Each structure stands twice: as C-alpha cells, then as structure tokens.
Structure 1
Amino acid sequence: MKKVVKGILLSILMSIVYMIINGISHSILPFSEWFVTNSMKQETNLGLTMIYMLAISGTIYFITQHARCKGKELYMAVIGSVFFTLSFMTQIETIIFGSAFEGLSLHDILLMVLGDFISISLTGLLYILILKRKTQEHEIMTIDWKKFVKCLLLNGLIYMVIYFIFGYFVAWKSEDLRIFYSGSAEDPGFFYRLYVNARDNFIIYPIQYVRGILFTLGIIPLMRIRWKSKYGFMISVCAVFLCTGMGLIVPNFLFPDAVRLAH
C-alpha cells in the first residue's frame, strides 16, 4: 500500500513537472505568429490538462516499476515508445490531414514534435534519477525478427481495417467532423465513402497501412527489455496507446470541440 501511495504521489508531482517543462519548451520554440496568436486565444482547461499529463506521467512510472532493466536501457525504452507513439505518430496524421488545419504549417508541426520530445525526455530522465535505477547487465531481449516482420505486415492490415471501420461508424457519424474534413455534412454510406477515398485520395490507404506498421514498431523499445511479468508489458503497451487518445480530451485551437470529441 505504501508503494502504491508513493507511486500515485510521484506521478502527480511528475505530471506537474511535465506540464511545466511542456509549457516552457513550447513557449521558447519559434512557432509562427499564426500559431502563437491562436494558441493564446484558446482557454486552458487546467483540470483536463492535468488528467492528460497525469496519464503520461503515470505511464512512464508504470514502465519504470515493471521493467527489470534500469538506467540507460530503461530510459531509451521509455523515450522510444512514449515519444514515438504519443507525439511522432500523432503528428504524422496532422501532416496527412494538413489541409483541414488552415494556417498550420509544417514548421509548426515539427516544433510541436520537438517540444514533446523535450518534455518526455526530460521527464523520463527525472524519473530515472529520482528512482536511482542504475544499469544492470544482460537485460536486452532478443526478438525473432522473421516472426516479428510477419506480425508487422499483418498488423498494418489489421490497423487499416480497424481505422476505416471505426473511423466511419464512430467518428464519421458526427456531422461536425464530416464538415470539418470534407466540407459537406452528407453521409452517403460506408462503402461509398471508401469509394470516394479511392477515387479522390487513394494514398490514404497505403498511408494508413504504413501507420499500422509504424505503431507496431513503436513497441519495439518495450519488447527489447525484460519485464517482471508479461502483464506488466501488456499494460504498458496499452497505457502508451491510451495516452495517444487521451490527448484529445484537452481543448485545443486546432479542433472545434465537437470535432475533437468525435475523434
């Protein structure tokens, strides 16, 4: 019980630290005038922001407590999985649908990624230093790459199928979201939507297939280290991906609230 309380308190403390680092890094980076002006207009929901930061901080803490490796190996696993999945993969989609975000430049997107990297890497480093986890030898796991490549290719297909099914039957049911991305509120049906994508934007299919592969690659850093139990590994993977979605609970100027919540 004492360890649980300690973990909760440390996660709360580190979420505050993460929020401060994130705020500082994003304030000093040279974002465009458009980005700065619009971000200043957005009202900050401190409660939801804190929940999101706590989810990230708690995920990092959980990984550090359930992995057997320490020091550099643990740090690289945390940064590799959390940053790659949480920020890098998220902003790839921002680039893909960049036309929907009028005024947002590639320069701003890359700076958002850099700001996230600074925040996640420094928070992860503080965790390692606070917990005083030093490196142990022989902690790197071997991976059956032949089997992994097969899973990689299959997961790309599975992700693409899930993306379009859930994208249509959940997110696309929002009229606000349809207007935001297509400019029209019409909903002619699932298969017609697939046809329109194939006709007007066929590249979306291979892009989402590759994204599925990249998301799978994002867990390699976690696969390469030893765990106290397989459940610790499974929960860590789920927590990392959950953080990606939880970012949408925080209001931001890029998405109208109805569109953000529809995601």
Structure 2
Amino acid sequence: MKRNLISKLQFVSVLLVFIVLFIVPTLILPVSKSLLERMNPKEMELFFPLLLLFGCFIACSFWLLINNTTQSKLTVFLKLASATFLLYPLMGLVESVFWLDSLNVVDNREYVRIFFRILITFILFSAYLSLLYKQKHPTGPTEGNILNIKLLIQRLLLIGVIYIAIYNLFGYFVAWQFEATRIYYTGHSELQGFFTMLALNFSDPAFVLVHFFRGMLFGLSGYIFYTMLGCSKHKTTIILALIFGGFGFQLIMPNPIFPEMVRISHFLETTSSMLVFGTILRYVFDYGKVNLPDGTS
C-alpha cells in the first residue's frame, strides 16, 4: 500500500516537474515580441489545460521507460539526455531551418532560443528522471538489444526510408485533407491526388534528403531508448510508440506559427504517424535477434 502511494506520488512529481521545466526556459529565454503578437488569444486561454494534457502524455511515456530499465542512474541519465536531445531540440532545429525559414515567420535568433529552451527542458527532465529512478538490479544493457555498428547503420538507413514513406502517407491522408492546411501552404484549396503530391515532393532533392536525415535521427534516438529497455517485446513496443507519439503530441499546444486548424491537422498527423513509427522501430531493431533465455528480448 505504502509502495503504491509512493509510486503514484512520484508519477505526479514527474508530471509537475515536466510542466515547470516546460515553462521556466521561456522565462530565461523569452519568446520574441513578434511571435507573441502572432498568438491567438482564444487559443491561449486553453494553454494550461493543453499543457497538462501534453504533460500527462510525456509523464506516462517516460515513467514507463524508467520502470522498465535496469541500468545505472548515470547510464539512464546519459541515454535519456542523448535520446531526447536528438528527438526534441535537434529535431526542432532541423524543422525550424527547413520549414520556418521558408515561411518567413521566425528570425535566426529565435531558432537559437527555441533550440536552447527545448534543450534546457529535456536535459533537466532527464536529470530528474534519473534521480527518481531506482535500479532494480545491477545489470548493464540487455546484451540482445545492442547491435554492432554495421547492423546499426543498415537499420538506420532502412528507418530513414520507412520514415519518408510514413511522412508522405500521413501527411497526405491526414494533414492534407484539411482545407485550411492546403490554403496555408499553397494559397489554394485544391486537393490534388496522392501520387501527384508524391511526385511533387520527390522532385525536390532537399525534401528527400532532409526527411531521410530526420528519419535516421529519429531512428538513432529510438535505438538509444531501445537499448535502455529490459522488458518484453509487447512492453517495448508500447513504450517506443508512446515516446515517439509524444513528439507529435506537443503540437496540441497553441503556437504562433500555425493557425488553429492547421495546428490541429498537424497534431493528428504527427501523433498518429509517430505512434506507428515508434511501433515499427521495435520490429526493425528486433529483426534477426536471437531470443534471450529470460524471454525479455
């Protein structure tokens, strides 16, 4: 009974700490006045309820992660910090440079502030999770979860291709079905066919290279999370899916870049696609792996 109560209180603390760490960096590195002026006041009325919802999703994901690993506190911190760095601040910087520059809504200084705000949040969040974590028994990473360099590179290249496929499928069949999204990006509401849009996307080498690179970054982040886990395949799949789903879930938050319906379209698109992507990662990393005697692989 006491142990259950402590566990529940610790989970609540993870949620509250994440919310605080989400807000504090904006006080240290304030959002530019030009971006604040673009915020929709009606959307901002929902900021804290949506932040609570986002925080719950993140807390659940990482709570499951730290309760299904057996590595040392230092290893947990280093891996969490590395994986979340790839998943959030670095990926955010890549997205900012590739998309926001073309939309002309953010200056270069704001890119840097966004990067460091996210970095502060997830470095400190990783530190808190590692302090909270109690090592179950003194073992290193599950041996069967470690791939040699050659295999890892092969899997990351494959993941890059898989990501491009998922991105285009969900981008078209979810986000692009919203008229507001088509108007926002193209200036007109015409819904062209999937293969027409696919050909248009692939005619731009920068589009292909950037998304292939993003896929590999996501894959490397996923691999780090994967090596932390010492649980069943079923649990590993759920945890990876939730962690990557959280990357999309952040788009539920009001922001000055997208009008409300465009933001909702990307929230639905990215959350659903990254849940699928996280699920696929486990199968990619598990492929060809010999089951361990304890059945954890």
TM range (shorter): 0.7 to 0.9
Q: For the Cα contact (< 8 Å) 2:15–2:55, is it kept in 1?
A: yes
Q: Aligned to 1:69, which of 54, 62, 71? A: 71
What does 1:28-107 align with in structure 2 at a 5 Å threshold? 28-29=28-29, 31-38=31-38, 41=41, 43-45=44-46, 46-99=48-101, 101-107=103-109
Q: Structure 1 pair 203/28, CA: closer, same or farther in 2 (3 Å)?
A: same
Runs (4 or more) in structure 1 with deviation over 6 Å come to none
Distance 2:63 2:105 in 1: 37
Give the structure 2 partner of residue 262 of structure 1: 265
Instruction: Read off the aligned partner of 2:170 and give its amino acid letter.
Output: F
Distance 1:207 1:50 in 2: 32
Name structure 2 gaps, 5 residues minimum: 267-297
Give the structure 2 partner of residue 173 of structure 1: 177
Percent same amino acid at aligned positions?
A: 24
Deviation at 1:3, TM superposition (A): 5.3
Distance 2:187 2:252 in 1: 24
Secondary structure in 1 matching 2:106: coil
Distance 1:50 1:107 in 2: 29
User: Is residue 159 of structure 2 the alignment partner of residue 155 of structure 1?
Assistant: yes
Deviation at 1:241, TM superposition (A): 0.3
User: Is residue 187 of structure 2 the alignment partner of residue 215 of structure 1?
Assistant: no
Give the structure 1 partner of residue 247 of structure 2: 244
Instruction: Read off the aligned partner of 2:162 and give its amino acid letter.
Output: I
Q: For the Cα contact (< 8 Å) 1:60–1:78, is it kept in 2?
A: no
Name structure 1 gaps, 5 residues minimum: none
Distance 1:36 1:260 in 2: 16
Give the structure 1 partner of residue 284 of structure 2: none
The structure, 1 or 2, with the larger RCO (C-alpha pairs under 8 Å, 6+ apart) is 1
User: Is residue 120 of structure 2 the alignment partner of residue 118 of structure 1?
Assistant: yes
Tell me how large the CA RMSD over aligned residues is: 2.7
Give the structure 2 partner of residue 13 of structure 1: 13
Of residues 62-71 and 119-128 in structure 1, the stretch that sits farther from structure 2 once superposed is 119-128
Q: Structure 1 pair 198/224, CA: closer, same or farther in 2 (3 Å)?
A: closer
Q: For the Cα contact (< 8 Å) 1:222–1:233, is it kept in 2?
A: no
Distance 1:2 1:185 in 2: 58
Q: Aligned to 2:193, which of 189, 192, 212? A: 189
Distance 2:136 2:108 in 1: 39
Of residues 90-99 and 214-223 in structure 1, the stretch that sits farther from structure 2 once superposed is 90-99
Q: For the Cα contact (< 8 Å) 2:70–2:140, is it kept in 1?
A: no
Number of matched pairs? 262
Instruction: Read off the aligned partner of 1:43 and give its amino acid letter.
Output: M
